[in-house]
Amino acid sequence: MNSALRSITSFLVVLVLACGGASSGLAAKKIPKARLAKGVYTSPGRVYSIKVPALLEPGSWNEERQTTPETQGAFFGDDMGRGFFILLTDNRGAKLTLDSIATEYQVGEGLREKAFVTTPRGTELRLAGIVKGGSPLVSRTKHDGKWVEERLDKVFAQSLFLYGENILQITMATTTLKGDTRTEPELMDDAKKRLDLALEGLELLPQR
C-alpha cells in the first residue's frame, strides 16, 4: 500500500488523535491567524476554506499537522471530547479513485456504515461508526473499593471526496459521555447531521 493510501485508510488512528491535542505526538503547531480568522480556516495553498463548527470556549484548541509527506491536516477540538478535522492529501502520485479508497474500508465492529452519496461536490464516500476507547476522556468508577478508569468511546461521521488532484477527508467526532441515554445509531445520526452542517460551510477554492 502506498503512503497516500495509508494516510487515507489510517483514519481510525487519526481519529483517536483528533481530540487529543498536542499530546498526540505528531508534529503539530497552532494554526496561524493568517489562515484562521473570524471562525473560517483556509488551507495552505488555498485549496479550500471552511467554517469551523462551534466548540466549547474556553477549552477549545486547534492545530495543523503534516501527518505524512502527502497529507496536511487541520484539527479542532474541545475539552468535552468533541473533535473536527479535515485532511488534504496530494493525489498526484497515487492517482487514487474513490472506488479504490472504498475497498480499504470494511464494515465491521468499528465501521458501521459505508455508502456513496451524490452532493454538489460530486460523489462522496460517507463513513460512520464508533471507536471503542477512542476518546482522550476517561470515566472513573469505584469497583470493590478501588477507582477504575476507562477511556470513553468516540462516535464519528466522515466524508471523503476528490477535488482536482487532491483528496479531502472531513470528520466529525463526539465522545459518548456517561449518562447519555441515546443509542449508538442515534449518536451516529447526530454526528452525520453535524457533518452535513460542517460541509455546508466548506468552500472549494478555484485551482490554477
Report the pLDDT value the prediction gives residue 7, as an integer from 0 to 100.
Answer: 53
Q: Provide the whole-model pTM.
A: 0.85
Within 10 Å of residue 176's Cβ, how many Cβ atoms?
A: 19
Cα–Cα distance, 201 to 205 (Å, whole number): 13
Cα–Cα distance, 104 to 102 (Å, whole number): 5
**Nearest 10 degrees: Cα torsion 4, 5, 7, 11:** 160
Cα–Cα distance, 149 to 142 (Å, whole number): 9
Domains and CATH numbers, the chain: 3-204 (3.40.1000.10)
Query: For every one of its 208 residues, what pLDDT tens digit does the chain have, with 9 covering 90 and above?
Result: 555 555 555 554 455 444 444 444 456 789 999 999 999 999 999 999 999 988 866 688 999 998 888 999 999 988 888 889 999 999 999 999 999 999 989 998 889 999 999 999 999 999 999 988 877 777 777 777 788 788 888 899 999 999 999 999 999 998 888 778 888 888 899 899 999 999 999 999 997 6
